[in-house]
């Protein structure tokens, strides 16, 4: 019971806030719960299959293969795969974390994984047409091209900022998840 409260302490606080909102105006609370419910539906649309794909990748792709294609000395091939993985997917940011985690765990280079996250959050091919029709062709082209260039630079910078022992700590942490 105590550990349950500890694990869900933030959830309980937020539920209390929603309860408080219900006391002021019932529609506020139902609106908040409705948005939360919508988000859970979106999540169920992407998270379970992503975890299954990650599980399969985990058991089928040996570490050596990942290192060859996305490891420290994979060069442009690694960059290309990072881009491809990020651009072809179309899920929310949090769905990218477990994917990035398995890539790191299997020996992918930090900069490529960061670039993968950057691509995931700015250049989704399945959504490009949609962005163009909503916000305009120019807007979309500037968005995608400027973000990709900046993330490419940022990935290298952030990788440099992480000390070898910090990278090791991240990999150790990932092994416990």
Partner 1 sequence: MTTTIFYSSAVLLLIISFFKDRAKTQKALKKAWNSFLKLIPAIVPMVLFVGIALTLVSPEIISRLLGESSGLLGIFAGATLGSIAMMPSFVAFPLGQNLLNNGAAYPQVAVFIATLMAVGISTLSIEVKYFGRKFTLLRNIFALVASFIFAFLIGVIL
Restricted to residues 33-72, the positions that interact with partner 1 (CB under 8 A) are 33-37, 39-40, 42-43, 45-56, 58-60
121 belongs to the binding site for partner 1 (CB under 8 A): yes
Report yes or no: 50 and 99 within 8 Å, Cβ to Cβ.
Answer: yes
- C-alpha angle 127-130-132 in degrees, rounded to nearest 5: 110
Task: Residue 122: count other Cβ atoms within 10 Å of its Cβ.
Answer: 17
Size of the site for partner 1 (CB under 8 A): 77
- Give 69 or 152: the residue with its C-beta nearer to partner 1: 152
Minimum distance between the CB of residue 115 and partner 1, rounded to whole angstroms? 11
For residue 11, the SS3 value is: helix
Minimum distance between the CB of residue 121 and partner 1, rounded to whole angstroms? 4
Burial of 93 (0-12, 13-18, 19+ CB in 10 A): exposed
Residues 143-172 that bind partner 1 (CB under 8 A): 143, 146-147, 150-151, 154, 157-158, 161-162, 166, 169-170
């Amino acid at each position: 019971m105590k550990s349950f409260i500890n694990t869900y302490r933030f959830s309980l606080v937020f539920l209390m806030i929603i309860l408080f909102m219900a006391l002021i105006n019932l529609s506020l609370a139902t609106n908040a719960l409705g948005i939360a419910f919508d988000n859970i539906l979106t999540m169920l649309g992407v998270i379970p299959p992503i975890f299954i794909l990650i599980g399969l990748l985990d058991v089928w792709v040996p570490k050596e293969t990942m290192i060859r294609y996305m490891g420290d000395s994979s060069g442009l091939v690694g960059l290309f795969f990072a881009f491809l993985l990020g651009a072809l997917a179309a899920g929310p940011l949090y769905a990218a974390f477990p994917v990035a985690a398995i890539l790191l765990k299997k020996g992918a280079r930090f900069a490529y994984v960061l670039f993968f996250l950057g691509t995931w959050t700015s250049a989704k091919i399945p959504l490009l047409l949609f962005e163009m029709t909503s916000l305009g062709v120019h807007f979309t082209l500037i968005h995608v091209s400027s973000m990709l260039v900046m993330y490419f630079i940022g990935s290298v910078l952030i990788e440099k900022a992480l000390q070898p022992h910090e990278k090791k700590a991240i990999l150790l942490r990932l092994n416990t998840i």
